[in-house]
Structure formats: structure tokens, C-alpha cells
Amino acid sequence: MKKTIITLLLISCFGIGAAFSQSVGFSYFFPKNGYFSNPVAPINFSLPLKFNNYFKVSPGIGLSNIGGMSMSGFSDNYNSEVPLVGPFQTLELNLIPAIVLPFKTVKIDFAGGIFGFASFNTRLLEGNFNTMLSDANNFDFIHTNTNIDKKAIGWGGVFGLKISFKVTKSAWGYIGAHYYMGEQKMALNGEYYGVSNTTITHGSFDFQKTSLLYHGLQISVGAELK
């Protein structure tokens, strides 16, 4: 994976005959089993490198405010298909090659690549997390103290399409839809006090294989300038 990323970066930065342009837009993210991104529009920026009329590579960067995302890595008795983390911010870097179908005033990009991201101000949605634990253990009520141990960076793949339309000789508008499939290791551990009828149970939990599930659909609109 690392060799592939380095190779693509070198091709993007030093490719012979590549034509540079810049793309600026707004993106809205709809997480799988999560909450819609904050109404304040996240910004994304990329530098598409066009090698010919039919192929380009787009290194890019984006900053998003995510309302909530679910997690993976729990055993089957836990209903983890609910938002468990949020709200939080992410910084995303991506590298997305694309096959281009060019027409006179319209271009269609079929894209697929990789992305990496870092999450900030990450916190549990305690209500949903506690409900998940309570249902799995048949408690009437539960109180938890939870610690989050996460990796600094998450990775994944991205694919989708973008439709561009000519506005002026040097400017194109676009709308795109891309699906992200990534994860960031995020172990959870702590203790709980569970109440069932009049019985109070004290115990601990340690989820070492859990991850932030960075899956979802991103809709983008913006402009590309030569």
C-alpha cells in the first residue's frame, strides 16, 4: 500500500506532459448509519493533473465537520448500526485517478482511488453507546466511564463519478458523488454500572478491535479552473 501511494504521488507531481488546474468546491457527507455533516459546508481543494483527454489524477484535501458515525468490530450481540461517535472534525487527503469521457461542453469522470484522514475532537455519543450496552446485557439503565484509544490516521478507498460542464473557456462547473469506505482503529475500554430491577452490577468492558466506520456518500459541487 505504501509503495503504491508513493508511486502515485511521484507520477502526480512529476508526470511528463501533465496539465495543471485547480478545483475548489463544497462537499456534504452522508455517513452510513450516521448523522449528516454539519450544515456549515465543508471545503475541499484539489489540483487535477491532466495527462491527456482521457486520464487524470487528482490529489486533494478536504476539511469536514461530521455529525456522527458508527463503528465496526463489536460482536453480533451488540447493535452497532447506530451513530456512536460525534460530532467531530476530519482532515482528509486523497489521491484519485479517473478515466474521463470528454464531450464538447460536458465531461464525465469515472474515478477510484485512496484516501487517508485524521479525526479531531472525537467523542462518544454516550446515549447511543450506553443504549447499545444496556440492550446487549439486559439492563434497565447503565452508566459508563469510557476511554478512547485511537490511531492517528485512518485509511480507505473511494470511488464514484463527477460530471463537469463548461461555463467559460477556462472554467468548468461540476457536481460529483463519491462513496468512501475507510476505517480508523479506535479501541474502547472502561467500566459500567448496570441496573436490572433493583440489582446494581459493576463491571468493565474492553473492545480492542473496534474502529470508526468511515463509510458514506459524499456529494460535491464546485468549479475547476485552468
Q: What is the pLDDT of residue 109?
A: 97
Q: What is the pLDDT of residue 20?
A: 59
Given a cut of 80, whether residue 22 has pLDDT beyond it is: yes
Q: What is the pLDDT of residue 7?
A: 44
User: What mean pLDDT do residues 163-181 have?
Assistant: 95
Q: Mind giving me the DSSP string for 98-167?
A: EEEEE-SSEEEEEEEEEEEEEEES--B-HHHHHHHHHHHHT-SEEEEEEEEEE-S-EEEEEEEEEEEEES
The enclosing domain of 11 has a CATH number of: 2.40.160.20
Alpha carbons 66 and 34: distance in angstroms, whole number: 9
Task: Confirm whether 174 is domain-assigned.
Answer: yes
Identify the band that residue 198 occupies on the pLDDT scale cut at 50, 70 and 90: confident
Task: Confirm whether 202 is domain-assigned.
Answer: no
Task: Confirm whether 7 is domain-assigned.
Answer: yes
Task: Confirm whether 178 is domain-assigned.
Answer: yes
* pLDDT 10s digits, 141-150: 999 999 999 9
Q: How many CB atoms lie within 10 A of CB 56?
A: 23
Q: What is the pLDDT of residue 4?
A: 46
Given a cut of 70, whether residue 65 has pLDDT beyond it is: yes
Structural domain range at position 219: 2-131+151-188+209-225
Q: What is the pLDDT of residue 3?
A: 44
Task: Confirm whether 144 is domain-assigned.
Answer: no
Task: Confirm whether 53 is domain-assigned.
Answer: yes
Alpha carbons 2 and 128: distance in angstroms, whole number: 36
Question: What is the total count of domains within the chain?
Answer: 1
User: What mean pLDDT do residues 4-31 have?
Assistant: 61
Q: pTM here?
A: 0.86
Where is average pLDDT lowest: 11-15, 41-45, 53-57, 162-166?
Answer: 11-15
Task: Confirm whether 16 is domain-assigned.
Answer: yes
Task: Confirm whether 117 is domain-assigned.
Answer: yes
